[in-house]
Structure 1
């Protein structure tokens, strides 16, 4: 069974079945939680906080980008919000999906303005966020429905 098949199997269908599918899904979910925690720690402590503190590297990077230092604060705020959202179960899927956009922008910035070799790191983080977003799609759908005032399915 592939990762896509395991992720595509709704939790309600696997909850009543014993055997390898349920065990693989549980193991995959734990692995994703571990990845989410690591990504959240990186985004908060190694990426957002240096931007807020005005670390010399962060200031110089955003000077090279050319959008001004205000963009450093916006980027840090989105990273911090995404990091917090990744570790809140109800928000994890939405945060992961939103972070794909941020990380896609980082990939493009590295390719077009900064060092192209560093584009691989945000691309890898975006791929993990895509897996998390896919796995948590039901929770994200329920969250968006509740925000819109629609009944849950």
Structure 2
């Protein structure tokens, strides 16, 4: 069980770094992100919304009480990104699928077994 917990934390930290950087680039208005969201046709408000969700999810991954909700939210963001990549942009969805799988893996690795499980009690 200790290995599962360590892998879960390492994955949470790695995802937090990825989503913090991705969200920050959207919120900073990097030219590539502005162009990408213009190509999507959803407007720049969507870039801001996704950026806020990614940064909030990154922070949430590092908070024990919030990490499962954050992982679920980021998985949903990546599901939407995958659909947009395939249907709207015609891009290869490998990266967004990989991030989706990683977020779901956090959910699986950190699922509570029971309230008496010492790993659950340690996170509270």
TM-score, normalised with respect to structure 2: 0.85
Structure 1, unaligned stretches of length 5 or more? 1-24, 140-153
1:93/1:134 contact within 8 Å kept:
no
Q: Does 1:129 align with 2:103?
A: yes
Stretch of structure 1 that moved more, 108-117 or 72-81 = 108-117
1:93/1:135 contact within 8 Å kept:
no
Instruction: Tell me how far 1:136 sits from its aligned partner.
Output: 3.0
Instruction: Tell me how far 1:58 sits from its aligned partner.
Output: 0.3
Instruction: Tell me how far 1:134 sits from its aligned partner.
Output: 2.5
TM-score, normalised with respect to structure 1: 0.69
Quote the Cα distance in structure 1 between the aligned partners of 2:47 and 2:91. Answer: 20
Aligned residues: 113
Q: Does 1:96 align with 2:67?
A: no
Quote the Cα distance in structure 2 between the aligned partners of 1:115 and 1:121. Answer: 13
Pick from 42, 45, 48 the counterpart of residue 18 of structure 2.
42
Quote the Cα distance in structure 1 between the aligned partners of 2:110 and 2:7. Answer: 13
Name the SS of the counterpart of 2:89 in structure 1: coil
Name the SS of the counterpart of 1:125 in structure 2: helix
Q: Does 1:58 align with 2:30?
A: no
Stretch of structure 1 that moved more, 25-34 or 97-106 = 25-34
Which residue number corresponds to residue 48 of structure 2?
73
Q: Does 1:109 align with 2:81?
A: no
**Rg comparison, structure with higher value:** 1
Which residue number corresponds to residue 21 of structure 1?
none
Between the two structures, name the one with larger relative contact order (CA 8 Å, sep ≥ 6).
2
2:5/2:110 contact within 8 Å kept:
no
Quote the Cα distance in structure 2 between the aligned partners of 1:115 and 1:50. Answer: 22
Quote the Cα distance in structure 2 between the aligned partners of 1:103 and 1:36. Answer: 15
2:79/2:100 contact within 8 Å kept:
yes
